[in-house]
Amino acid sequence: MFASLDSAVCQALENLLGIIDRVFPLPRRFRAGLPRDIAELSGLLTGNREARSESYLGKPGHLSAYLRYFLPWNVYRLCRLLPGLDLSLRSGDVISDLGCGPLTFPIALWISRPDLRELALEFRCLDHTYPVLEAGKTLFSALIASNAKWHIQLIRGSLETRTKAPKAALISASQVFNEVFWGLPHRKPELLAASAGKYARLLASLLTEKGVILIVEPGIPRSGEGIAALRAALLDQGYTPLMPCPHSKACPFPGGFRAKWCHFAFDTQDAPPALLNLSAAAGIPKERAVLSFLLAHSGEAGSGGLGLPVRIISDAFPVSGRYGRYGCSPQGAVLVTGPAAEMESWKSGALLRYAPPLSSRRDKKSGALLLPL
Task: Supply the CATH number for residue 318's domain.
Answer: 2.40.50
- pLDDT for residue 58: 60
Domain co-membership, 283 together with 336: no
Domain co-membership, 173 together with 227: yes
State the total domains in the chain.
Answer: 2
In a domain, 302, yes or no: no
SS3 string of the chain? CCCCCCHHHHHHHHHHHHHHHHHCCCCHHHHCCHHHHHHHHHHHHCCCHHHCCCCHHHCHHHHHHHHHHHHHHHHHHHHHHHHHCCCCCCCCCEEEEECCCCCHHHHHHHHHCHHHCCCCEEEEEEECCHHHHHHHHHHHHHHHCCCCCEEEEEEECCCCCCCCCCCEEEEEEECCHHHHHHCCCCCCHHHHHHHHHHHHHHHHHHEEEEEEEEEEEECCHHHHHHHHHHHHHHHHCCCEEEECCCCCCCCCCECCCCCCECCEEEECCCCCHHHHHHHHHCCCCCCEEEEEEEEEECCCCCCCCCCEEEEECCCCEEECCEEEEEEEECCEEEEEEECHHHHHHCCCCCEEEECCCCCCCECCCCCCEEEEC
Task: Supply the CATH number for residue 35's domain.
Answer: 3.40.50.150
- pLDDT for residue 291: 96
pLDDT at 40 over 90: no
Domain boundary among 264, 297, 330: 297
CA 77, distance to chain mean position in Å, is 7
Q: In this structure, are strands 322-329 and 308-312 parallel, antiparallel, or unpaired?
A: antiparallel
Domain boundary among 297, 316, 333: 297
In a domain, 303, yes or no: no
Exposure string of 198-211, with b = 16+ CB inside 10 Å and e = fewer, is ebbeebbebbeeeb
Domain co-membership, 354 together with 293: no
* Rounded-to-integer distance, Cα 87 and Cα 97, Å: 14
Higher pLDDT, 45 or 127: 127
Domain co-membership, 174 together with 220: yes
Domain co-membership, 144 together with 200: yes
Q: Report whether 268 contacts 5 (CB < 8 A).
A: no
In a domain, 2, yes or no: no
- pLDDT for residue 299: 76
Domain co-membership, 285 together with 359: no
Residues with Cβ within 8 Å of 157's Cβ and at least 6 positions away in sequence, in order, are 126, 128
Can you give the pTM of this predicted structure?
0.94
In a domain, 1, yes or no: no
Domain co-membership, 286 together with 327: no
Domain co-membership, 49 together with 87: yes
In a domain, 314, yes or no: yes
First to last CA, the chain: 20
Phi, psi of 365 (to 5 degrees): -80, -50
- pLDDT for residue 250: 94
pLDDT in tens, 61-80: 788 899 999 999 999 999 99
Domain boundary among 244, 269, 297: 297
- DSSP three-state, residue 353: strand
* Rounded-to-integer distance, Cα 358 and Cα 370, Å: 9
- pLDDT for residue 108: 98
One-letter amino acid for residue 372 of the chain? P
* Owning domain of residue 332: 308-372
Phi, psi of 77 (to 5 degrees): -60, -45
Domain co-membership, 268 together with 341: no
Domain co-membership, 254 together with 324: no
In a domain, 111, yes or no: yes
Residues with Cβ within 8 Å of 182's Cβ and at least 6 positions away in sequence, in order, are 49, 222
Domain co-membership, 100 together with 141: yes
pLDDT in tens, 248-278: 999 999 987 668 899 999 999 999 999 999 9
pLDDT in tens, 103-134: 999 999 999 999 999 999 999 999 988 889 99
Percent of the chain with pLDDT over 90: 72
In a domain, 286, yes or no: yes
- DSSP three-state, residue 53: coil
pLDDT at 56 over 70: no
Domain co-membership, 286 together with 359: no
